[in-house]
Amino acid sequence: MVTLTFPTWMEPYRALATGKVSRDQWQALMRQLLWPVLGIGLFLLLWQFAAQRIDTSLGQFPGPAQVWEQAGNLVSEHQQSREREVAFYERQEKYIAARLQQQPDWEPVTRDYTGAPTFFDQIGTSLITVMSGFLLASMIAIPLGIVIGLSSTVHAAVNPLVQLFKPVSPLAWLPLVTMVVSALYVSDDPMVSKSFLTSMFTVSLCCLWPTLMNTAVGVTSVSQDLTNVSRVLRLNALSHVRKIVLPSALPMMFTGLRLSLGIAWMVLIAAEMLAQNPGLGKFVWDEFQNGSSQSLGRIMVAVIVIGLIGFLLDRLMLMLQRALVWDKASAQR
Amino acid sequence: MMKGFKKTFCGVLAAMTLGLSATSVADDAVGWPEKADLKFGFIKLTDMAPLAIAYEKGYFEEEGLFVTLEAQANWKVLLDRVIDGQLDGAHMLAGQPLGATIGYGTEAHIITAFSMDLNGNGITVSNSVWEEMKKHIPSKDGKPVHPIKADTLKPVVEQYKDAGKSFKMGMVFPVSTHNYELRYWLAAGGLNPGYYAPHKGDTSGQLQADVLLSVTPPPQMPATLEAGTIHGYCVGEPWNQQAVFKGIGVPVITDYEIWKNNPEKVFGVSKAWAEEYPNTHIRVVKAMIRAAKWLDENNNANRPEAVKILSRPNYVGADYDVIANSMTGTFEYEKGDKREIPDFNVFFRHNATYPYYSDAIWYLTQMRRWGQISESKPDSWYMDIAKKVYRPDIYTQAAKSLIAEGKMSADEFPDFASEDGFKPPQSEFIDNVTYDGRKPNEYLSKFPIGLKDGDTL
């Protein structure tokens, strides 16, 4: 079922490249390129205009130019950090060689680089955490959603709980999750850090619900005709779910998954900020604490990157949906 | 555990005696570190410098230690993470190991073998309070005469009282040096900073108070002052200088003027950790002694470089100029009124790194003075707690090993043979009261404001 065609939205560009542009394509180009560019341009102007008028105790609010400059700084800091990392490993090799000479029976261990994580390291950490939390939530929510959708008894039993926990803010869960993780996850040589688990579980707890609800609704709304077909064919329960329920429920499920991923990303930043767990949220908080004249610009870079990543994650889900769902009309935006 | 520790201790001593005759002293003196991957916590303050320098100058690595330094949100989080083992050790307030060990706040046995610095704090008031205070401060050559006593704040506080408003100030933690320094300064000017009564469940520290003190994390002080939630604060650098730069407040006094060369931060680890990794602990102290020496070397010659390192976002992260203002031997009070205080930040001079029992006892006396210790205790109790928490024995091993390796010389340290951990009686306090660490109860009886022997709230 997976088909990859030349995306239709690129058609006008191909036409532009070949020089043969129809009227419709001109309109498409305007819609896709001109208006968005104008919108962004206007926003930048407004931003610059407003920024000049906001004086904080950390200096002027950063305009687009300062933010761009800070983005450059963050990149160069990342490169410097990588250079230090290389030097670190070289020094370590020397240390190991020297120690082996004095203590031949020692089993050398290479240590990971101990420098502070850069902005880009933090992005990586956040992405891994959000994806793990989201996958865990999906693994629970999809099967549970199917069961709830199939059985009105289970639905009646679970629904009050779902309604109760759905609106809970991540920040309320966080202290509980932190304490439970530190109590239960005790190991001398932990595979992953406690802070990672805390963030991950908090994310999971909060982004479980949209997937669960939408899957359940999707499953309930399988058309009666299809269910009848399944009856006639005498499909067993598993085949019924695989052949009939899942394909019809997929569009709804994806709507839920997309909502969940969006929530997961938002929750993660807040959780990282509050719990001081590594990631973009901590980056923002640290910069705020630093209170240097560059801090606001750097936070603004993070804000834009957070938005950009959230957007890309959503597009990613949409692509996945397009590739998997038979009803293409349901995956338009 | 203790037995194992003593054994290592003897082993180290034996190794060192042998080392005098042998050639390769370096690695005989202290055994290989039991744990090489370490994570230390710190709060974004300039006095975390010994940790940053020990890392950046490779002193930790030379000891075979691979250290990660991590900024913590506030002092409570930092202490909790040392207690539950997420951090191997941390930059701590001198009162934290003591408070934790006697069970004020979170209870846990924390020890320290390294004192990180002397002085380094200041008290800042908001611009409007300063305008009022200034009327009562004598001036010379157009500049206010320092040190400024809290007597000049008293009329301002009275004004607030008459207007039915409470006068609030921020400090960083209930057992912080800042809390005790601010209280000392206020009380010396006749203002009661309030008592704690933990036996009644009152840990606000505001009983009978003229000035209400509350906790704010250091980096948030300027913002809280700006918001008007507090009218002044006591905090470490760069957060007093930050107020000057931002034009939101005026530092009125440094802790150097409240108590000359007062002990400030310490490096704290849990006792269990120290017993499990004795060699690691000694090596950590070694690296930090070298870092402290580097910071003070050649009359603060390395300070500009240190400031550059500290201004990186992963350490203190404030602007270079803000940090440099106090780290390079000056302190700016009112904007433009920059004065020389070469000893504002001391990391190594005056035996700053040695963990003196008398320093520990001073903090205990202040805990008693303000009711955090609700019942009076005999002098021997103060002595016992100081010995439980402050560990010059570990410091001495580290120092001797550095001397044996030729990295330091014996004259840079106290004379270990005769040092008993007590500084001679000190009287360079703002109220000229003499402090003798051997007589804590007698010392407490000298203050007009504060609990004395036999008092309970």
Q: Report d(CA B389, CA B104) in Å as an integer.
A: 14
Predicted local distance difference test score (pLDDT) of residue A132: 94
Judge whether B342 lies within some domain: yes
Same domain assignment for residues B271 and B362: yes
Question: Amino acid letter at A154?
Answer: V
* pLDDT per residue as tens digits for the range B175-198: 999 999 999 999 999 999 999 998
Predicted local distance difference test score (pLDDT) of residue B168: 95
Q: Record the tokens describing residue B243, joined without a space.
A: 């107020």
Q: How far is CA A255 from CA A214, A216, A281, in A?
A: 7, 12, 26
Q: Per-residue pLDDT for B164 more than 80?
A: yes
* pLDDT per residue as tens digits for the range A228-275: 888 888 888 888 888 888 888 888 899 999 999 999 999 888 888 887
Predicted local distance difference test score (pLDDT) of residue B362: 96
Using 50, 70 and 90 to split pLDDT, how confident is the model at A14? confident
Same domain assignment for residues B109 and B10: yes
Selected residues 68-107 of chain B with any CB under 8 Å from a CB in chain A:
68-69, 71-73, 77, 84, 86
Whether omega for the bond prior to residue B218 falls within 30 degrees of 0, making it cis, is: no
Dihedral-angle region of residue A234 (phi above 0 means left; psi in -120 to 50 means alpha; beta otherwise): left
Answer yes or no: are the C-beta atoms of A254 and A327 closer than 8 Å.
no
A175 inside 8 A of chain B by CB: no
Same domain assignment for residues B182 and B142: yes
Residue scoring higher pLDDT (A240 or B295)? B295
Q: How far is CA B97 from CA A142, B82, B331, in A?
A: 49, 11, 29
For residue B319, list chain A residues with Cβ-Cβ distance below 8 A: 292-294
Mean pLDDT value across residues A29-40: 86
Judge whether B446 lies within some domain: no
Q: How far is CA A215 from CA A120, A210, A212, B9, B400, in A?
A: 35, 8, 5, 65, 69
For residue A276, list chain B residues with Cβ-Cβ distance below 8 A: 72-73, 77
Q: B325: helix, coil or strand?
A: helix
Same domain assignment for residues B304 and B367: yes
Q: B164: helix, coil or strand?
A: coil
Judge whether B226 lies within some domain: yes
CB pair distance less than 8 Å for A295 and B84: no
Write the CB contacts of A233 (distance below 8 Å, at least 6 apart in sequence). Answer: none
Ranges of each domain in chain A: 126-184+191-327
* pLDDT per residue as tens digits for the range A282-302: 899 888 878 788 888 999 999
Same domain assignment for residues B220 and B299: no
Mean pLDDT value across residues A211-227: 88
| Burial class of residue A133 in the structure, from the number of CB atoms within 10 Å of its CB (0-12 exposed, 13-18 middle, 19+ buried) | buried
* pLDDT per residue as tens digits for the range B373-428: 989 999 999 999 999 999 999 999 999 999 999 999 999 999 999 999 999 999 99
Using 50, 70 and 90 to split pLDDT, how confident is the model at B444? very high
Mean pLDDT value across residues B310-314: 90
pTM of the predicted structure, to 2 decimals: 0.81
Nearest to B27 among A102, A111, A194 (CB): A102
B336 inside 8 A of chain A by CB: no
Same domain assignment for residues B98 and B136: no
Predicted local distance difference test score (pLDDT) of residue B415: 92
Q: Per-residue pLDDT for A327 more than 90?
A: no
DSSP string computed for B71-89: E-SSHHHHHHHHHTTSSSE
Q: Report d(CA B50, CA B42) in Å as an integer.
A: 11
Laid out side by side, the sheet with B265-270 consists of B66-71, B37-42, B89-93, B265-270, B110-115
Predicted local distance difference test score (pLDDT) of residue B9: 47
Same domain assignment for residues B115 and B45: yes
Q: Per-residue pLDDT for A333 more than 90?
A: no
Domain with B102, as residue range(s), is 2-119+263-412
Percent of chain B clearing pLDDT 90 (strictly above) = 74
Provide the CATH number for the domain around residue B350.
3.40.190.10
Mean pLDDT value across residues B87-102: 94
B279 inside 8 A of chain A by CB: no
Number of domain units in chain B: 2
Q: Which residues of B57-66 are buried (b: 16+ CB within 10 A; e: fewer)?
A: bebbbbbbbb
Same domain assignment for residues B299 and B330: yes
Last residue of a domain, one of B262, B282, B308: B262
Same domain assignment for residues B277 and B295: yes
Predicted local distance difference test score (pLDDT) of residue B1: 42
Nearest to A327 by CA among A270, A252, A264: A252
Judge whether B309 lies within some domain: yes
Judge whether B379 lies within some domain: yes
Write the CB contacts of A178 (distance below 8 Å, at least 6 apart in sequence). Answer: A198, A275
Predicted local distance difference test score (pLDDT) of residue B397: 93
Predicted local distance difference test score (pLDDT) of residue A7: 64
Cα–chain center distance at B263: 5
Phi, psi of B213 (to 5 degrees): -100, 145
What count of CB pairs under 8 Å joins A to B? 69
Same domain assignment for residues B111 and B147: no
Read off the DSSP letter of residue A223.
Answer: -
Using 50, 70 and 90 to split pLDDT, how confident is the model at B83? very high
Q: What CATH class has A126-184+191-327? A: mainly alpha
Judge whether B130 lies within some domain: yes
